[in-house]
Amino acid sequence: MAGAVDNTIRSNNVNIGGSIGSESSNLGQNDPLEEFGDSGQFIGVSSGGESGIYNTMIRIARDIKNLFYAIATVLFLIISLRLIFSSNTEEEIGNFKKGIIWITIGLIVMQIAYSFAIVTFDQGVSASLGVSIIQNIAYPLINLIKTLASVFFIAMAIFAFFRLVTANGNEEAIKSGKMTIVYAIFGFIIVKLADEIVQAFYGRIDCNNTSGGFINTQANNCINRSDISEGIYIITNILNWLNGFVAIVVLIMIIYAGLQIMLSGGDEEKIKKGKQSIIYIAIGIAILIVNYLVLTFFLVPQGTI
């Protein structure tokens, strides 16, 4: 009897132990903490080997970045206070603008470098995620910078034009205004055409493929689409942008010439300047007509303008 009881208890212990072991095994497989811990997402120094070195360097980079953010904030407060309490306002305004520009550039470069370092060297980032980050973060940022640069160059051209208008015969101001307009035009063209030129000759990466009516981004199926015929597209864009820019300049010149003649009060010098402006207006209109003819008969198929 005692032997039977002993066997029963021993059997129950074995079953209970097996059940507990099975439950603990299941818990171990489904434990969110263990899964997160094994994913390597901790930024700490407790890991060993390559992962530990990587996490340590990323942690140092993050702390340095935050330190420079704090320094930039202090510098911004200093230059703002110097601008408010300074007696030489013009000089301090120039220093304030330079300080803002360099602080902004520094912070943007540091943040971009930090983010790309994490994405590039993190082994947990898949190729498709990398493509998604480039498309959803890098490209919008580049487009934003291109838009701001375009607005900046247009503002430069307008500012230079008004400097020419208000030069009052000052040869140095006239020369400076003309050079600023030239730089603004070249800068605007470079910003607008850089992307198209690179893609026309080196191609563009297309990682989108359609499956069942949905667009899937898969890095394994990326295609380098290169077509030299896109040069025609580039030339068409150049002419369209040139038309828009020339049209704005012609409109401003018409207003300027009209004001010069109406407000001349018999002043021969102002009347002469007004007549010269009319010549420039005629040249601008001729450029618009030639560009339109080129677009209509040589570059763009009929019905697409």
Q: Is the pLDDT score of 156 beyond 60?
A: yes
Question: Going by C-beta distance under 8 Å and a sequence separation of 6 or more, which residues neighbour residue 203?
Answer: 224, 225, 226, 227
Cβ neighbour number for residue 207 with a 10 Å cutoff:
19
What's the chain's average pLDDT? 68
Question: What percent of the chain has pLDDT above 90?
Answer: 0
What pLDDT sits at residue 221? 53
For residue 204, list its beta bridge partners.
225
User: Which class for 195: exposed (0-12), middle (13-18), buried (19 or more C-beta within 10 A)?
Assistant: middle
* pLDDT level of residue 133 (50, 70, 90 thresholds): low
For residue 214, list its beta bridge partners.
211
How many separate domains does the chain show? 1
Residue 102 lies in a domain: yes
Q: Which strand (E) or helix (H) includes residue 64?
A: helix 49-85
Q: Is the pLDDT score of 223 beyond 70?
A: no
Residue with the two structure tokens 């140092």: 60
What pLDDT sits at residue 77? 79
Q: Is the pLDDT score of 39 beyond 50?
A: no
Answer for the pair 297, 290: CB distance below 8 angstroms, yes or no. no
Q: Is the pLDDT score of 251 beyond 80?
A: yes
* pLDDT level of residue 219 (50, 70, 90 thresholds): very low
Query: Which letter, b or e, does each residue of 232-263 get, where b requires 16 or more Cβ atoms within 10 Å of its Cβ?
Result: eebbbeebeebeebbeebbebbbebbeebeee
* pLDDT level of residue 51 (50, 70, 90 thresholds): low
Q: Which strand (E) or helix (H) includes residue 253?
A: helix 230-262
SS3 assignment, position 168 = coil
Q: Is the pLDDT score of 179 beyond 80?
A: yes
What pLDDT sits at residue 126? 59
Structure confidence by residue, pLDDT tens digits, 83-110: 667 666 677 677 777 777 787 787 777 7
Residue 69 lies in a domain: yes
In angstroms, rounded to a whole number, what is the distance separating the alpha carbons of residues 270 and 272? Answer: 5
Residue 55 lies in a domain: yes
Residue 147 lies in a domain: no
What pLDDT sits at residue 256? 79
What pLDDT sits at residue 173? 78
Task: Indicate the range of 44-53, 95-104, 128-137, 227-236 predicted with least confidence.
Answer: 44-53
In angstroms, rounded to a whole number, what is the distance separating the alpha carbons of residues 76 and 244? Answer: 38
Strand 223-225, strand 204-206: pairing: antiparallel
Residue 113 lies in a domain: yes
Residue 63 lies in a domain: yes
Q: Is the pLDDT score of 282 beyond 80?
A: yes
What pLDDT sits at residue 26? 46
What pLDDT sits at residue 298? 62
**What is the extent of the structural domain holding 95?**
42-125
Residue 213 lies in a domain: no
In angstroms, rounded to a whole number, what is the distance separating the alpha carbons of residues 189 and 184? Answer: 9
Of residues 113 and 19, which shows the higher confidence score? Answer: 113
* pLDDT level of residue 5 (50, 70, 90 thresholds): very low
Answer for the pair 101, 152: CB distance below 8 angstroms, yes or no. no
Residue 210 lies in a domain: no
